Structure 1
């Protein structure tokens, strides 16, 4: 389940982009490559293909779809085609699942996307809050306003905390500096001028 969830996450940006723009750009290509590699590992190394009791092994180097599996000497062409088909089925199933999840939760997705445009980053708890509000039927505009305001408040609290810590550190520095000035100086004793003895006067002088 964990690996399939990773595939869904990898496809999420691609699916959302297609839903919004109707097209797919090259921006999500890296996620697609990672998803493909993970699906191959699931089939070849983890025994998660149709023959779940067999791990075929991919330790001979990277394997790519499009005929690369069939070029391996330890696989027959029939087995290679079967493995490639299993990888493709895993990817297709995960992509379909991603489309379903995005569609069912589109209000939350749209709200989080707009909030990110305004705030650049969001705490995971706010993303969860957006999902909860969407499940309750809250309009997307209200969800955006709620999580953006919460994000701003959290940022202000953080800034105030940092300012308090900065002031406390500055006060501590001043205190230590004052203590060093009072107790660390060298006391200079006043010098007493000594009278030089006068020479004795000779008799008859």
Structure 2
């Protein structure tokens, strides 16, 4: 007899390890470099608009973020941005790509605990090389039964992944900090969606919580995940 829950999917960035805070630090430096041309709020809005436009071209991740900063710098300076500013933005992106991985509290313990009884997957968006680097440095790689680095997280994507690696979405759970990418589409695919809030979440990943959904759960941190998994059965 198939159990209620056989497969657990984990998001990576800001669910298992820190990520968004490095983007915020780099954006603060971007605003300093262009302070003579625009105020911080205006720059933030222009950068966010550029990122939204560019997702279809560059996907998610640091490289697209750097290209969006450069594009915004060119736009707000009316093509007069100094070359040293462009160079510094490129170097800031390179620093982000070299930054060591720092796991979030309870991440390793949570993955190890559910891996003892369930099929465990890493399902993440972003640049392939960067996500592979972070997973390798995290020390968690050997715990996962499968790794999926995707361009988007939609109900059809979750259906395909949980069919390929498990017993279908109906017997799967997705755990993450993004309501828009991790929780809502997993529930729409027929699985459980578990929201683990992070203090910093990219504006593009915001969405309303599916409070009325029977398979929606929210946890204060990953330390409560193993108990939830046992309760679902």
TM-based fold match above 0.5 = no
Give the structure-1-normalised TM-score. Answer: 0.29
Which of the two has greater strand per residue? 2
Instruction: Report the TM-score when normalising by structure 2.
Output: 0.26
Structure with more relative contact order (C-alpha pairs < 8 Å, separation 6 or more): 2
Larger Rg computed on CA atoms: 1
Q: Which has the higher helix share?
A: 1
